[in-house]
Structure 1
Amino acid sequence: MKNYIKHQEWQIIEEGFDPHLNKISESIFSIGNGRMGQRANFEETYTGETLQGNYVAGVYYPDKTRVGWWKNGYPEYFAKVLNATNWIGIRVAVNGEELDLNTGKVLEFSRVLDMQLGTLTRKFIVELRSGNVLGVEAVRFCSLVDDEAGAICYSITPHNFEGQISIESSLDGDVKNQDSNYDEKFWTEISKTEQNSFALLTMETKKTAFWVSSGIHTEIHQNGAPLGLKPKFVSKEKYVAQQFTVDVKKGETTAIYKYAVNLSSENYTKNKMEAEAVATLQKIVAKGFDRMRQEQAQAWAGKWQNGDVVIEGDVAAQQAIRFNIFQLHQTYTGEDARLNIGPKGFTGEKYGGSTYWDTEAYCLPFYLATAPQQVAENLLIYRYKQLDKAIENAEKLGFKNGAALYPMVTMNGEECHNEWEITFEEIHRNGAIAFAIFNYSRYTGDQGYLAKYGLEVLIGIARFWAQRVNWSIEKERYVMLGVTGPNEYENNVNNNWYTSTIATWCLKYTIEAIELVKGMDPVRLTELFAKTNFKEQEETGHWQEIIDQMFYPVDEKLGIFLQQDGYLDKEQVLVKDLPASDRPLNQKWSWDRILRSCFIKQADVLQGIYFFEEDYDLETIRRNYDFYEPRTVHESSLSPCVHAIIAAKLGDLDRAYEFYLRTSRLDLDDYNNDTEDGLHITSMAGTWLSVVEGFGGMRIKEGALHLHPILPQKWTSYAFKIGFRQAVVTVKVSDKQVKLSNESNVNLEIHVFGLAHQLQANSNLELNT
């Protein structure tokens, strides 16, 4: 665990430059706007250790996975988010000597990510080998307002010299991914041109043939005024730049303003992309850096107005929750239903940048409560539009009759995960997608979604589960064989409790959804039955038989649900008894040893209890929590938040707070020694869940909003805002009081500590705790 990020409520601050931490900081200080983003690489040349990353949403490469041990049904490729054209490059030479923090002596250094303003600022003073000392301040952002654009102000001030500075502002398409095989590069050049003061570079991905057109405009200012210099254009393969040479004096600041755009063929026809890039570049250049930065601050103010969480008395906790919320908004804005939330967002390449079940299980509730309803609906529509591919995925594995298996990892609906025990066995992801439809309908009250989109998806998923189980003569029950649950430290197990539980829940919910649509829109139901060739009596009758006769492993003596058959055959060792030198297991132990151990990567049984807590009494939840948590190593970023929420429900504030801090500062403090690969974006939604569902006790029951707030000992108070069915409510919890503020024109019934209260429009309600 690292501890070098300064604690500050609205800023992420690094002081001093340690090159060994640079890749971690590149992840932490990443910026984005939902359409494009980048790691916090330096603008100037840096020859030290770095992981370059510029990313454009929706652009990927299908890396081939076929190998000697190929199996039927195995994915054809592993989709990779691609490192795209590097638009931030500003190469600087001082009197012929290149500026490079790896070769110069860094005298002062700071990096600040301002979460209110949406800007990244880096300041440093460096002594070059020649003895020349200069200061640099670089401010940049990816615009939320113009979401295909970014801007940089790079200011240079000589401290002890005068002379000449040469500047090369570039677009570099000669890039590769860190994990590319044999240093393969995935881009080919289409064109590069200069047009007046603009430099343009259009690149195409191999195989997938995505085009990305990038453009830059660079201005040089001194003493606050433009010099009016015309650039010299330089080009080579996959590279174009604008060169300037300026005379500088001691103490006089030279400012480089760089404007850039990245347009994708996902949004434009290829023959018009270059013209569109020019038009977009003209638009932002006309605005200028100051206006763009002002608009950026206003846009972020709007985000925080709807979704801030305020914690008083604990700066580390406050900084952490805002950092997680900030990164979620940088990654996904919900304006394009073709896009989704990659586990690393725009901060790194690990996991391919594709869509996982994390979105439905963890991210959807955040957007339901903090964004317009259409944002959450677009996350569901993303899956609806990929239903045909999910049916194809199931067919490849031998399933029939419209059974749908959604992929574990995908870019376009096809399965592209390259580990067989995940691809074939971690099928609980189907359940998370069904649960998201239920969660959306429960939260919004929008049952119309079921008729229009949701029921068709549910039928496909239910058909899969009905074919995936089989009848056991020995147990005289239906069983689920050969699966991997959320705990990926177990593979190919039988009767994983969570998978079986969510499977039968899906069958029950689909039957309920059919009845809802039947009463709401019988014409639409008839259309759906015809489209899916659905035989209601036959299929729902079989589903009900599975529901009634499903086998679930339990241990009566301990009073717990067994994670899977034979779990208690394992040597039962607690995590607290593991030597510190053995952690993390996934970096220290062989896979064979992990699989034979009792240790759990993340919530498994407890994931099911979290989803379906209303089905279990408090003592059942407590017994399972007290048994499984001590055996959980939390080596998944998705693990601590679920444990925090359940601990809060059990009134265990110490453990709830411990897990909240762990999930919220997972990347800021590099808990798992893997932040350098990129941030854990999808688990960041779990940080919000830990506060709102954990400490706030927020639940939706029978169409009503329920709260059961508790206050961690280290906090003076906390407050969060939620949008619920056209109402906007701020909840503030202190030691002796819960204050509710309805900031809308909608009256709302709200339940606090089990008692119903009428919260009138535009009114406050104060309750003693």
Structure 2
Amino acid sequence: MKNYIIHDPWHIIEDQFRAEHNEFSESIFSIGNGRMGQRANFEEAYSGKTMQGSYLAGVYYPDKTRVGWWKNGYPEYFAKVINAVQWIGLDIQIDGTTLDLAQCEIISFERRLDMKAGVLYRTFRAKMPNGKEVEITAKRMYHLFQSDTASLQYTLRVLNSDADVAVRSYLDGDVVNRDSNYDERFWVPIAEDIQDDLVLVKETRKTTFRVEARLRNVCYVGGTAQSSGIKRKEQFYVGEELHAHLKAGESIRMEKYVAMVSSLNHPLDKLTEAAQNSLEKIASKSYDELIQLQTEAWARIWEESDIQIEGDVAAQQAIRFNIFQLNQTYTGEDARLNIGPKGFTGEKYGGVTYWDTEAYCLPFYLATQEPKVARNLLLYRYQHLEKAIENAGKLGFSDGAALYPMVTINGEECHNEWEITFEEIHRNGAIAFAIYNYVRYTDDSEYLSTHGLEVLIGISRFWAQRVNWSEQKQQYVMLGVTGPNEYENNVNNNWYTNKIAVWCLRYTLKVIAQEQTLHEDRLYELLSRLDFKAEESPLWQHIVDNMYLPEDSGRGVFLQQDGFLDKELIPVAELPAGVRPLNQHWSWDRILRSCYIKQADVLQGIYFFEDEFDTNTIRRNYDFYEPLTVHESSLSPCVHAIIAAKLGKEDKAYEFYLRTARLDLDDYNNDTEDGLHITSMAGTWLAIVEGFAGMRVRDGQLHFQTFIPKNWQSYAFHVQYRGTKLYINVSQDDFEVKNLSDTEISIIFNGEQLLIEPEWKS
């Protein structure tokens, strides 16, 4: 763990430079705007440990999969959101010596992310090898109000003597990904131009995404604007160099305004026009005006999604950090985009879509944004249904069976680990559950008719073909799967997978029956188009009635899979601290033979289907599995926090909340330098709203069952529900519920029915 991030309610702050942890800090201080984003790389040259990262959403490359030997059905590539254009770069020479913090004596240093305004700041004083002392102040934004633009302001002051300063501002398109499987280069140059603005145009190999970056530099020396500098261009590179002689105490300020547009969003013949228009919109304003616009845009986000905590600064900082990162990763404005596990903060996982979106992120967007944002997340999967059917076909399934990918950016499976690609099929269930979750929350039943049911039928057809009848058990079984717990591969009858398959089939049959009553003609048209057979519904019902779900009647718990009790059940608490995380100390063989659980598995199913189980059943399963869980997946602690809260285990709920909330800020799993765990950040919100506040939707009504951690004075949040906006404040000895809409709403709060009148009426 690391604990050098200073606790502050609205800022992420490091107060000194730690070269050995620079890549960790680059992840922590990443910024973006839903359309593009970047790790917190330095503007000036840095020869120390760093990972360059500048990304455009939806622009990807199919990097050829690297495996020891091929298997039928194996994905041919691993899709990656790739490094785009390095636009922040400044080469700075002071009396002929390059400014490089790795070569300087650092006198003071601070990096600060203002989450309230969405601005990254950095200041430092340093003594260079030639004896020159300099002071730098840098500001950077990815504009939320104009999402294809970004800007920075960089001020350099020479402190102890006069100096000749040269600043070259540039766009560099010759960038690579560190994790390229065959060191392949992803871009080809198209054009470079330096006539007016600096312009760089390039195109991805294979996928032929064209990107145009357009940069305008504005330079001030001692407060006086300078004319254009010396421009030059090379393949993949355009730059502009300005020179100044500074007296001691004088400064030079460079402002960079950039627009980056792609053929994903504009026709090729309109790309230049789009870049010019976007650049003009920001370059015509002062930097202070841009900061004001950015602050106003973030204020609108925070008004809906903020959670306020009194009495615990570490917890307050953490929840805002998680909410901030979620909102700058995905804004919902484009149904072709989704939420990569690392967002714009790193290369790991390729920046593409996993089941995390449906299982963890959807509830956050349902409650904090307009319904169209969550609907776009569902539409993303609907648009990929044909590809899901193709994916299933590659594995031998037929007749419209759909297997959604474990990893995708365009609907095709592109995961590069075979056991997950072929076996971790529970992701299909999470997508079906998201449809159910969306409809029960929004009451948008029309979505079922127009989009959702078609997806549900494809998924149900897959489950019906994936199970097989066991003559020995006289039940249906599911063989050779991997559940959410990836520390178990190729197991039989993973309880969670079997359970969610049964639920999917039952829910699909229920929706068909509803549509038969409500939209018979529309249903008939759909079933005809899908060539739905008369025997499918009876088969699905037979599977529902006869699925094998492993359990241990003596302990009264569901078994994670067949044979789980053959393992040596040694609690995690008895492991030496030096072997954690297991995946960094044990062989994979040893992990697979152990009883240790990477993340909630049985408990994931209990979280989804909580209303099907009585409290004693939930308690027995929690008490059995939690001591065996190492939480080495970022998706695990939040589920445990929610269940612990339901069971009245308030101290454990708080412990798990802190773990999920400060997972990246404190680097619990020693892997944040690869990038932040964006999708699990929604779990932080869930831990408070569904955990501490106990929010549920039952029978079309919002329920709350609240508690408050002992060291908190209060916590408060907003939720949107079916057109109503509520403000909930829970303190140690009281609560407050406000209706910020114009219609009344009835809710169940701590067991009591409350009719909440609109605030304006009181």
Which interval holds the TM-score relative to the shorter structure? over 0.9
Deviations 1:176-224 (A, max 9, x none): 101123532211111000232x100011111111111111111111343
Partner SS for 1:523: helix
Aligned residue for 2:484? 486
Aligned residue for 1:224? 223
Shift in Å, 1:120 = 0.1
Partner SS for 1:690: helix
Aligned residue for 2:132? 132
Aligned residue for 1:384? 382
Aligned residue for 1:631? 628
Aligned residue for 1:120? 120
Listed as ranges, the matches of 1:633-712 within 5 Å are 633-712=630-709
What is the rounded CA distance, in whole Å, between the counterparts of 1:447 and 1:183 in structure 2?
48
Shift in Å, 1:492 = 0.6
In the alignment, is residue 565 of structure 1 matched against residue 562 of structure 2? Answer: yes
Deviations 1:612-664 (A, max 9, x none): 00000111000000000000000000000000000000010111000000000
Judge conservation of contact 1:364–1:436 (CA < 8 Å) in 2.
yes
Aligned residue for 1:162? 162
Q: 1:129 to 1:66 in 2, by over 3 A?
A: closer
Shift in Å, 1:90 = 1.2
What is the rounded CA distance, in whole Å, between the counterparts of 1:428 and 1:376 in structure 2?
21
Partner SS for 2:21: helix
Aligned residue for 1:548? 545
Identity across matched positions, percent: 59
What is the rounded CA distance, in whole Å, between the counterparts of 1:51 and 1:68 in structure 2?
27
Q: What one-letter code is carried by the residue in structure 2 that aligns with 1:65? A: T
Aligned residue for 1:524? 522
Shift in Å, 1:151 = 0.6
Aligned residue for 1:539? 536
What is the rounded CA distance, in whole Å, between the counterparts of 1:303 and 1:188 in structure 2?
38
Shift in Å, 1:241 = 0.6
Aligned residue for 2:213? 214
What is the rounded CA distance, in whole Å, between the counterparts of 1:68 and 1:666 in structure 2?
33
What is the rounded CA distance, in whole Å, between the counterparts of 2:274 and 2:551 in structure 1?
61
Q: What one-letter code is carried by the residue in structure 2 that aligns with 1:600? A: I
Judge conservation of contact 1:707–1:751 (CA < 8 Å) in 2.
yes
Deviations 1:147-199 (A, max 9, x none): 01001010011111113210110100111101123532211111000232x10
- Between stretches 72-81 and 493-502, larger displacement belongs to 72-81
- Between stretches 399-408 and 523-532, larger displacement belongs to 523-532
Shift in Å, 1:754 = 2.0
Deviations 1:442-495 (A, max 9, x none): 000110000010000000000000111010000000111110000000011011
Judge conservation of contact 2:85–2:172 (CA < 8 Å) in 1.
yes
What is the rounded CA distance, in whole Å, between the counterparts of 1:324 and 1:563 in structure 2?
30
Judge conservation of contact 1:741–1:764 (CA < 8 Å) in 2.
no
Aligned residue for 1:199? 198
Listed as ranges, the matches of 1:22-33 within 5 Å are 22-33=22-33
Shift in Å, 1:279 = 2.3
Shift in Å, 1:288 = 3.0
| Count of matched residue positions in the alignment of Structure 1 and Structure 2 | 762
Deviations 1:346-402 (A, max 9, x none): 000001111000000000000000011100000000000000000000011111110
Q: What one-letter code is carried by the residue in structure 1 that aligns with 2:167? A: I
Partner SS for 1:452: helix
Judge conservation of contact 1:741–1:763 (CA < 8 Å) in 2.
no
Deviations 1:316-365 (A, max 9, x none): 00000000000000100000000000000000000111100000000000
Shift in Å, 1:67 = 4.5
Deviations 1:580-609 (A, max 9, x none): 111111111111100000000000000000
What is the rounded CA distance, in whole Å, between the counterparts of 2:683 and 2:270 in structure 1?
41
What is the rounded CA distance, in whole Å, between the counterparts of 1:125 and 1:635 in structure 2?
39
Aligned residue for 1:263? 261
Aligned residue for 1:762? 759
Q: What one-letter code is carried by the residue in structure 1 that aligns with 2:442? A: T
Partner SS for 2:284: helix
Aligned residue for 1:717? 714
Shift in Å, 1:253 = 2.4
Listed as ranges, the matches of 1:717-756 within 5 Å are 717-756=714-753
Q: What one-letter code is carried by the residue in structure 1 that aligns with 2:169? A: S
Q: What one-letter code is carried by the residue in structure 1 that aligns with 2:594? A: S
Shift in Å, 1:527 = 1.5
- Between stretches 324-333 and 248-257, larger displacement belongs to 248-257
Aligned residue for 2:303? 305
Partner SS for 2:491: coil
Listed as ranges, the matches of 1:466-477 within 5 Å are 466-477=464-475
Aligned residue for 1:436? 434
Partner SS for 1:287: coil
What is the rounded CA distance, in whole Å, between the counterparts of 1:572 and 1:100 in structure 2?
53
Aligned residue for 1:70? 70
Shift in Å, 1:66 = 6.2
What is the rounded CA distance, in whole Å, between the counterparts of 1:524 and 1:288 in structure 2?
55
Aligned residue for 1:588? 585
Q: What one-letter code is carried by the residue in structure 2 that aligns with 1:575? A: V
What is the rounded CA distance, in whole Å, between the counterparts of 2:67 and 2:179 in structure 1?
17
Aligned residue for 1:290? 288
- Between stretches 746-755 and 15-24, larger displacement belongs to 746-755
TM-score, normalisation: structure 1: 0.98
Partner SS for 1:21: helix
Partner SS for 2:166: strand
Listed as ranges, the matches of 1:207-356 within 5 Å are 207-227=206-226, 229-356=227-354
Structure 1: tracts of 5 or more residues without a match: none
- Between stretches 685-694 and 290-299, larger displacement belongs to 290-299
Q: What one-letter code is carried by the residue in structure 2 that aligns with 1:218? A: N
What is the rounded CA distance, in whole Å, between the counterparts of 2:269 and 2:554 in structure 1?
70
CA RMSD of aligned residues (A): 1.1
Judge conservation of contact 1:739–1:764 (CA < 8 Å) in 2.
no
Shift in Å, 1:254 = 1.8
Judge conservation of contact 2:739–2:757 (CA < 8 Å) in 1.
yes
What is the rounded CA distance, in whole Å, between the counterparts of 1:70 and 1:724 in structure 2?
49
What is the rounded CA distance, in whole Å, between the counterparts of 2:35 and 2:66 in structure 1?
31
Aligned residue for 1:364? 362
What is the rounded CA distance, in whole Å, between the counterparts of 2:33 and 2:274 in structure 1?
19
Deviations 1:710-760 (A, max 9, x none): 001111100011001111001000111110011110210110112211001
Shift in Å, 1:248 = 1.2
Judge conservation of contact 2:65–2:181 (CA < 8 Å) in 1.
no
Aligned residue for 2:79? 79
Q: 1:459 to 1:741 in 2, by over 3 A?
A: same
Judge conservation of contact 1:200–1:274 (CA < 8 Å) in 2.
no
Shift in Å, 1:764 = 9.6
Indicate which of 507, 510, 521 corresponds to 1:509. 507
Q: What one-letter code is carried by the residue in structure 2 that aligns with 1:532? A: L
Aligned residue for 2:36? 36
Judge conservation of contact 2:66–2:416 (CA < 8 Å) in 1.
no
Judge conservation of contact 1:740–1:764 (CA < 8 Å) in 2.
no
Shift in Å, 1:250 = 1.5
Partner SS for 2:156: strand
Judge conservation of contact 2:454–2:526 (CA < 8 Å) in 1.
yes
Aligned residue for 1:402? 400
What is the rounded CA distance, in whole Å, between the counterparts of 1:239 and 1:45 in structure 2?
16
Judge conservation of contact 2:64–2:181 (CA < 8 Å) in 1.
no
Judge conservation of contact 2:87–2:258 (CA < 8 Å) in 1.
yes
What is the rounded CA distance, in whole Å, between the counterparts of 1:153 and 1:684 in structure 2?
30
Q: What one-letter code is carried by the residue in structure 1 that aligns with 2:445? A: Q
Q: What one-letter code is carried by the residue in structure 1 that aligns with 2:213? A: S
Judge conservation of contact 2:34–2:147 (CA < 8 Å) in 1.
yes
What is the rounded CA distance, in whole Å, between the counterparts of 1:9 and 1:624 in structure 2?
36
Aligned residue for 2:88? 88
- Between stretches 180-189 and 390-399, larger displacement belongs to 180-189
Partner SS for 1:482: coil
Shift in Å, 1:299 = 0.3
TM-score, normalisation: structure 2: 0.99
